[in-house]
């Protein structure tokens, strides 16, 4: 099963979940879940009835065993529901267990009156100044106020490359639990013990501080009212049956109630919510609350930065364009040699492209050794190398090369124009004083993004690209990436304006950002995802933080949000649809005593009244654990139009939900009917 | 069957025209006859000091409750002293207290449940000043509220519309002109309209018989147009004086179906025109999907009644009586199975409550349909509130369907959140609570059981029917129930009162909440509430929720009867 891959059922989680499932029988805890609370009350009543069978109704002494069986099934129903919630919590807990370990053992050097005092991390207060040296763990969230050092953030990001942290700017915030790998940092603590980013994350994932999200509250309301309706149905059924002189035992009435009220969704609702957060966490994204994940499902507009999100951010060589009279090979070779000692991403991409074009140059090592390296400087604005035999290879911006060259070839301007028009950057290559041609540098769109944006469009989500580039370049990239709109030459203020404009059209807007100047926009957006590498102010303004600092992940989070809502809807529909079959099992069974003709409605041909009622009740109980995987993994989601999605899910969970219990109840009946005969019920 | 088809085919163009007219009245758009109506209305506004200022949802509801309360008080007073007032040629006595309570609630709530017989219980003055008056005002109240509700669904503010203005306009522009035309037509078919006293004559068997008549035509038209349903005589529209011919029968059926259907059309137009008034639309996409959903349930109902009544009663067949005409017990020969089945399905689906055959004598499944129609109370439904009830199910369906596609629920761009959901859930709860609760009470108390005239399952059907009819403000009787007793007068009175006013208050509250909401974007990613998928989903939700709620009681009543009869 695919679920195992996600660590759905490790032995440890099952064991602890089992224990906590029992603890959750506490009625006070149960009150949080009204549907299951009703089941629990029913359970207590039936337990009483199996001890004192004639408590409510004289002459029911022979029902002791039957009442006992009903009590056991009700007990299992509640246990399964509790178990579902515990498993969801257990998985979250397992995810952060390692983090907790790192945290608990940390001690810190606190500067008090210019002296270093050792303190436990848990004793740190907001505003304390601590010094952390190479090899030590940063005790709590804070702001770098002095020093520059590399920090290993793999504990929270999973990214092994250390990150440079320094005072001021976008790299000044540090997270508790990460390790300084070089030099030392002076840090001002910005969070209270137990309230650090990590603590919040832990409690969120564990579901301990989980607040019901707005949609969950609305759905609970619906479930509670369905419960009330069915309580009413059963409570009024009793006098009507009495009027028609049909006897019915209290245990059967309770069984009927429990079968009808939406226990399936009621039992799994909180597990679905916790698991949704958990799935977000598996993507290494921390959602500050469930509401944010829910809002993701509604996103209409996605605002993405071009650099780093849509494109790789560094320009790559994609073509060598020689001027008339120069061969392709000659230009390629010159470009290659001029970049041999160039370590910039652009330089490397030129080497790669040249190799791709099957350029063969002998003795590369020797050339590098013997040549003089001319690095790029702000003054010269070009780079290259002078070989031992005196040949000078240069590449650089057109303006600078033009000054160095003897003559400008006639079609050079045209080539440069072509490149600029397509949104690229031209680099001119020169050998000695002769211009050979142009390297076409281009911002490359990440692979697979175009398809993603197409999917988003099918889901009804519009993508807008923000970039500092000129409109021409922006348009070209936008077209290549397949985004629906772009804002060229954008400043941070523009972003917030775009968000406002979209919101005024009634749209739900999501965006990603990392810099301090992104903070207002992150706060304004309905879903703001900050990069963990970003500043504290950005993180505080956002309602999600991506630990891997990969902005494209917002797309996955949107899908998780949708999945979360869909899972709720699907299981609600399933739960309601199940009732049809349960009625067909129980109603004829109850009425058979007084109205023999009712047997014609026993379309499942269930063995006896007792086995019919118990089969329905058992089905009602075991469907909960059977659906735990669905609750954990979420309903499968593929981008498609809302109508298709509705049809698909209605058929699976609506029609399926109507049919499955007919089969399930019949099968259970076939198994338990002989057993019941054996014990004489 | 062709008789049913023809009536429904005539209905379609009529409802579209009426819907457009209702739309114009609601949105105060320019319309034919403005000059005349404006003058009449301005006189009314002046006389009754109506200020015509825009109201919030709360003020609107308060005005409705206040005006209805005043009318209840006056009506009750008249019923209690009618014997000493004028226009009482047949010397009818004063009405008893609990019966007066029941009657006045019944007519103010547009239920028209009658625990009395008009010919022996009411003077002509009471018939006109209480009954006919309330038939206009209760219908106008219902349509006014429906207007307020629909306007809020598409509005961006909660301050709009004035109850008194809407109330007056519904009467002057819709109910009065239509009633006038229909009355004249009915008179042409032979319905009496007179202040003369009853005729007493000697029959050929030399027995004395009273022939009851009075100002019947005036009541007959508004009784159907306003989906009221209370008969001038006890036997309602089955008597020749209320419903003499097949033509009058068809006109009565069309009259009661006209305005409830028109409400759906009007809402459809409001939704379509909210963005672009120049749009070409007959009813609009949203209107179509709701109209079709209601029609599907309605047509299933007719088909079941017709099939079941045509099949007849197997026990009568067994004793060798020719039943090739179907189950004619309790039906008028001039209408036959088709006209009776259609009337039965229409009067309960459109919650009018008038009858042209005795529902007590319908076959079990034939009787199940009117009962279930009233239990659902959303299949068009009466006087505008039917549409509002249906909208509760629309919102519920949207809630579930939106989750199924991974969106938080929204309708017309407005989010349905916990607060709205709470009220919607309450709204859907009220109706079954009243029906099942009071039914359970009736079968456990001596006062209730005393009224039940049939043993076993049919007796239970009578009880369920009476409360379903009361709570749905339908008013048709299963008859057979001896219902003029303190228990039945009081319980059904309460059922009618709460069935009407609690729902209306909650529904306007929901509309007010939605009106104040931010309008969200609609895209291909949001739920399409206008296509066939949604319509199917809506019908499924209505039927499943309705069936799950009422199946046990139905199983004990009509279904048991059916199984016993056909075993």
Residue of B nearest to A655 (CA): B540
Residue A43 touches partner B, C-beta closer than 8 Å: no
| Nearest Cα residue to A143 out of A529, A550, A539 | A539
CB contact under 8 A, A506 and B548: no
Per-residue pLDDT for A493 more than 90?
A: no
Q: Nearest-CA residue of chain A relative to B409?
A: A215
CB-nearest partner of B403 from A569, A577, A600:
A569
- Chain A residues with CB inside 8 Å of B425's CB? 221-222, 224-225
* Among B413, B417, B548, beta carbon nearest to A218: B417
Kindly tell me if the per-residue pLDDT of A556 is higher than 70: yes
Could you tell me the residue range of the domain that residue B85 belongs to? 2-565
Q: Which tokens belong to B354? A: 């008038």
**pLDDT of A585 over the 70 cut:** yes
Sequential DSSP letters for B157-188? -S----HHHHHHHIIIIIIHHHHHHHHHHHHH
A517 pLDDT more than 80:
no
Chain A nearest CA to B159, separation (Å)? 21
- What whole-number distance in Å separates Cα of residue A622 and Cα of residue A618? 6
CB contact under 8 A, B406 and A561: yes
Partners of residue A379 on adjacent β-strands: none
Provide the shortest C-alpha distance from residue B528 to chain A (in Å).
7
- Segment among A10-24, A588-602, B17-31, B61-75 with least mean pLDDT: A10-24
- The answer to whether residue A221 neighbours chain B at the CB level (below 8 Å) is yes
Say what the pLDDT of residue A1 is: 31
Q: Which of B408, B413, B547 sits opposite A294 (nearest CB)?
A: B408
Residue of A nearest to B521 (CA): A506
pLDDT of residue A595: 85
Distance from CA of A450 to the nearest CA of B (A): 19
**B418 to A218: CB separation less than 8 angstroms, yes or no:** yes
Reported in sequence order, the residue ranges of A310-433 that DSSP labels E, i.e. its strands, are 311-322, 372-374, 382-386, 392-396, 425-431
Q: Is the pLDDT of residue A99 over 60?
A: no
What the block records as the tokens of B227 is 């989906």
CB–CB contact A297 B407 (8 Å): yes
Q: In which band, very low, low, confident or very high, does the pLDDT at A97 lie, cut at 50, 70 and 90?
A: low
The helix (run of H) or strand (run of E) holding residue B498 is: helix B486-515
The confidence score (pLDDT) of residue A155 equals: 61
pLDDT on residue A421 = 77
Chain A partners within 8 Å of B545 (Cβ): 576
Q: Is the pLDDT of residue A195 over 70?
A: no
Q: How confident is the model at residue A23 (pLDDT cuts 50, 70, 90)?
A: confident
> A297 and chain B: CB distance < 8 Å anywhere?
yes
Q: Which of A128, A305, A514, A518 is catalytic?
A: A305
* CB-CB neighbours of A60 under 10 Å: 19
Close Cβ partners of B259 (under 8 Å, ≥ 6 residues apart) = B18, B22, B139, B143, B174, B225, B226, B227, B383, B384
| A112 touching B (Cβ < 8 Å) | no
Residue-wise pLDDT for A174-188, tens only, equals: 877 788 877 888 888
- The string of DSSP codes covering B434-452 is HHHHHHHHHHHSHHHHHH-
Inter-chain touch B405–A649, beta carbons under 8 Å:
yes
Mean pLDDT by 10 residues, chain B (567 residues): 90 94 90 90 92 91 94 93 87 89 92 86 88 92 92 88 93 94 94 87 88 87 89 86 92 93 93 84 90 94 94 86 85 91 92 89 92 90 85 93 88 89 92 94 90 85 91 84 88 93 94 89 81 92 90 90 87
Q: Taking residues A196-201, report their average pLDDT.
A: 63
Strand partners, A510: A302, A527
pLDDT at A50 over 70: yes
| β-bridge pairing A163-166 and A148-152 | antiparallel
What is the share, in percent, of chain A residues with pLDDT greater than 70? 90
More confident residue, A390 or B295: B295
Query: What pLDDT score was predicted for residue A6?
Result: 44
State how far the Cα of A645 lies from the Cα of B399, in Å rounded to an integer.
15
Contacts of residue A457, Cβ cutoff 8 Å, sequence gap at least 6:
A463, A484
Q: Does the annotation count A342 as an active-site position?
A: no
* Residue B320 burial (10 A CB sphere; 0-12, 13-18, 19+): exposed
Whether residue A96 is predicted with pLDDT greater than 70 in this model: the reply is no
Inter-chain residue contact A232 with B521, CB threshold 8 Å: no
Q: How far is Cα B241 from Cα B394, in angstroms, rounded to an integer?
A: 41
Mutation target among A216, A500, A558, A569 for the B interface, most CBs of B within 10 A: A569
The pLDDT score that the predictor gives to residue A533 is 67
Chain centroid to CA B100: 21
Look at residue A72 and tell me whether its pLDDT is greater than 60: yes
What one-character DSSP code corresponds to residue A544? Answer: E
CB pairs under 8 A between A and B: 207
Q: How many CA atoms lie within 13 A of A661 on its CB side?
A: 32
**Structure tokens that stand for B323 in this block:** 């039943």
Residue A7 binned pLDDT confidence (cut-offs 50, 70, 90): very low
Q: Cβ of A458 under 8 Å from any chain B Cβ?
A: yes
Least CA distance to B448: which residue of chain A? A243
* B444 HSE (CA, 13 A, CB side): 14
pTM, two decimal places: 0.84
- Please tell me the distance from the alpha carbon of residue A303 to that of residue B189, in angstroms, as a whole number: 71
Render pLDDT for A458-469 as a digit per residue (tens, 0 to 9): 777 888 888 877
Which tens digits make up the pLDDT trace of A438-481?
A: 998 887 777 778 888 888 887 778 888 888 777 877 888 888 88
DSSP class of B454:
S
The torsion region of residue B159 among left (phi > 0), alpha (psi -120 to 50) and beta comes to beta
Q: A3 pLDDT band (50/70/90 cuts)?
A: very low
> Burial of B262 by CB count in 10 Å (0-12 exposed, 13-18 middle, 19+ buried)?
buried
CA distances from residue B391 to B20, B282, B501 in whole angstroms, order as listed: 20, 20, 17
| pLDDT recorded at residue A209 | 57
For residue A5, the model assigns a pLDDT of 39
Average pLDDT, chain A: 82
The beta-strand segments (E) located in A167-259 are 173-174, 179-180, 184-189
CB contact A243 to B (< 8 Å)? yes
Q: How many domains does chain B have?
A: 1
Mean pLDDT confidence for A619-648: 88
**Partner-chain residue, chosen from B396, B436, B567, that has the shortest CB–CB distance to A597:** B567
Neighbour tally for B59: CB within 10 Å: 16
């Amino acid at each position: 099963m695919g679920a195992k891959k996600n660590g759905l059922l490790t032995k440890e989680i099952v064991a602890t979940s089992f224990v906590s499932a029992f603890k959750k029988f506490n009625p006070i805890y149960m009150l949080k879940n009204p549907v299951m609370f009703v089941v629990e009350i029913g359970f207590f009543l039936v337990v009483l009835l199996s001890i004192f069978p004639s408590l409510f109704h004289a002459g029911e002494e022979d029902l002791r065993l039957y009442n006992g069986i009903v009590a056991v099934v009700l007990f299992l129903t509640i246990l399964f529901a509790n178990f579902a919630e515990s498993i969801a919590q257990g998985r979250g807990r397992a995810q952060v267990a390692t983090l907790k370990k790192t945290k608990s053992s940390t001690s810190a050097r606190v500067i008090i009156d210019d002296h270093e005092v050792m303190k436990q991390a848990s004793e740190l207060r907001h505003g304390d100044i601590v010094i952390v040296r190479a090899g030590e763990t940063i005790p709590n969230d804070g702001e770098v106020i002095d020093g520059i050092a590399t920090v290993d953030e793999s504990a929270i990001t999973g990214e092994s490359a250390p990150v440079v942290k320094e005072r001021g700017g976008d790299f000044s915030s540090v997270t508790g639990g990460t390790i300084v790998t070089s030099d030392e940092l002076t840090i001002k603590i910005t969070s209270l013990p137990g309230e650090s980013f990590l603590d919040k994350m832990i409690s969120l994932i564990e579901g301990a501080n989980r607040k019901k999200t707005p949609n969950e509250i609305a759905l609970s309301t619906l479930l509670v009212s369905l419960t009330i309706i069915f309580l009413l149905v059963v409570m009024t059924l009793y006098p009507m049956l009495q009027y028609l002189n049909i006897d019915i035992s209290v245990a059967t009435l309770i069984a009927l109630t429990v079968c009808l009220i939406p226990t399936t969704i009621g039992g799994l609702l909180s597990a679905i919510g916790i698991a949704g957060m958990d799935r977000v966490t598996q993507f290494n994204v921390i959602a500050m609350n469930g509401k944010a994940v829910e809002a993701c499902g509604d996103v209409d507009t996605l605002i993405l930065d071009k650099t780093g999100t849509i494109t790789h951010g560094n320009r790559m060589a994609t073509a060598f364009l020689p001027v008339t009279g120069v061969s392709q090979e000659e230009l390629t070779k010159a470009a290659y040699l001029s970049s041999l000692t160039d370590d910039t991403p652009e330089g490397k991409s030129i080497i790669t492209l040249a190799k791709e074009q099957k350029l063969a140059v002998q003795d590369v090592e020797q050339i590098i050794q013997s040549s003089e390296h001319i690095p790029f400087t702000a003054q010269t604005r070009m780079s290259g190398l002078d070989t031992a035999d005196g040949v000078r290879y240069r590449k650089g911006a057109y303006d600078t090369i033009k000054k160095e060259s003897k003559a400008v070839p006639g079609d050079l301007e045209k080539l440069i124009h072509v490149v600029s028009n397509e949104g690229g950057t031209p680099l001119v290559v020169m050998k000695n004083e002769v211009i050979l041609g142009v390297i076409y540098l281009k911002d490359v769109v990440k692979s697979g993004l175009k398809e993603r944006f197409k999917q988003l469009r099918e889901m009804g989500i519009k993508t807008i690209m923000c970039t500092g580039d000129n409109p021409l370049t922006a348009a070209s990239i936008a077209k290549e990436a397949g985004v629906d709109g772009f804002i060229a030459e954008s400043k941070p203020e523009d972003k917030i304006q775009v968000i406002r404009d979209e919101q005024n059209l009634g749209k739900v807007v999501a965006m990603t950002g990392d810099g301090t100047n992104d903070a207002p926009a992150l706060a304004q957006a309905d879903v703001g995802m900050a990069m963990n590498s970003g500043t504290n102010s950005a993180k505080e303004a956002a309602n999600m933080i991506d630990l891997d600092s990969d902005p494209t992940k917002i797309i996955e989070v949107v899908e998780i949000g949708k999945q979360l809502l869909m899972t709720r809807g699907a299981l609600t529909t399933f739960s309601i649809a199940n009732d049809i079959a349960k009625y067909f099992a129980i109603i004829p069974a109850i009425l058979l005593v007084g109205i023999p003709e009712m047997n014609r409605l026993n379309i499942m041909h269930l063995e006896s009244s007792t086995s019919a009622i118990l089969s329905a009740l058992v089905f009602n109980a075991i469907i909960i654990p059977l659906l735990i995987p669905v609750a954990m993994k979420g309903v499968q989601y593929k981008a498609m139009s809302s109508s298709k999605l509705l049809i698909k899910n209605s058929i699976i969970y609506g029609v399926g939900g109507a049919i499955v219990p007919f089969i399930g109840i019949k099968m259970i009946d076939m198994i338990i009917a002989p057993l019941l005969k054996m014990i004489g019920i | 069957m062709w008789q049913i088809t023809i009536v429904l085919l005539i209905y379609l163009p009529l409802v579209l025209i009426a819907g457009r007219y209702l739309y114009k009245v609601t949105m105060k758009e320019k319309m034919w006859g403005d000059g005349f109506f404006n003058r009449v209305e301005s006189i009314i506004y002046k006389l009754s000091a109506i200020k015509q200022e825009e109201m919030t949802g709360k003020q609107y509801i308060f005005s409705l409750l206040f005006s209805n309360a005043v009318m209840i008080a006056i009506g009750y007073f008249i019923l209690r002293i009618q014997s000493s007032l004028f226009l009482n040629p047949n010397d009818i006595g004063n009405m008893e207290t609990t019966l007066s309570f029941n009657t006045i609630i019944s007519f103010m709530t547009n239920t028209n449940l009658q625990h009395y017989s008009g010919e022996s219980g009411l003077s002509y003055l009471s018939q006109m000043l209480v009954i006919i008056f309330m038939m206009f005002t209760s219908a106008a109240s219902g349509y006014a509220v429906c207007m307020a509700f629909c306007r809020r669904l598409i509005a961006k503010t909660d301050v709009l519309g004035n109850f008194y203005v809407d109330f007056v306009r519904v009467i002057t522009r819709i109910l009065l002109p239509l009633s006038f035309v229909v009355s004249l037509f009915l008179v042409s078919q032979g319905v009496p309209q007179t202040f003369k006293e009853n005729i007493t004559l000697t029959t050929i068997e030399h027995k004395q018989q009273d022939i009851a008549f009075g100002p019947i035509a005036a009541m007959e038209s508004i009784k159907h147009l306003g989906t009221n349903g209370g008969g001038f005589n006890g036997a309602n529209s089955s008597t020749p004086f209320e419903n003499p011919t097949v033509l009058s029968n068809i006109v009565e059926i069309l009259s009661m179906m006209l305005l409830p259907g028109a409400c759906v059309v009007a809402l459809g137009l409001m939704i379509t025109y909210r963005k672009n008034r120049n749009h070409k639309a007959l009813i609009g996409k949203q209107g179509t999907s709701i109209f079709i959903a209601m029609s599907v349930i309605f047509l299933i109902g007719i088909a079941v009644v017709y099939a079941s009544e045509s099949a007849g009663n197997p026990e009568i067949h067994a004793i060798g009586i020719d039943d090739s005409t179907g189950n004619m017990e309790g039906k008028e020969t001039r209408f036959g199975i088709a006209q009776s089945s259609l009337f039965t399905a229409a009067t309960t689906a459109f919650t009018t409550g008038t009858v042209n055959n005795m529902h007590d004598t319908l076959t079990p499944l034939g009787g199940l349909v009117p009962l279930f129609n009233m239990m659902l109370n959303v299949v068009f439904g009466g006087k505008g509130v039917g549409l509002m009830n249906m909208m509760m199910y629309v919102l519920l369906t949207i809630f579930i369907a939106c989750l199924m596609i991974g969106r938080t629920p929204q309708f017309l761009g407005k989010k349905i959140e916990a607060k709205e959901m709470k009220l919607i859930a309450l709204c859907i709860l009220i109706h079954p609570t009243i029906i099942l609760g009071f039914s359970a009470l009736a079968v456990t108390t001596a006062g209730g059981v005393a009224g039940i005239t049939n043993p076993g399952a049919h007796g239970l059907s009578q009880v369920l029917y009476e409360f379903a009819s009361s709570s749905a403000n339908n008013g048709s009787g299963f008859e057979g129930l001896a219902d003029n007793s303190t228990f039945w007068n009081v319980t059904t009175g309460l059922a009618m009162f709460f069935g009407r006013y609690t729902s209306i208050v909650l529904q306007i509250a929901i509309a007010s909440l939605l009106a104040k909401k931010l309008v969200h974007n609609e895209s291909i990613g949001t739920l399409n509430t206008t296509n066939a998928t949604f319509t199917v989903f809506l019908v499924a939700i209505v039927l499943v929720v309705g069936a799950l709620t009422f199946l046990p009681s139905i199983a004990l009543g009509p279904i048991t009867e059916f199984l016993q009869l056909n075993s």
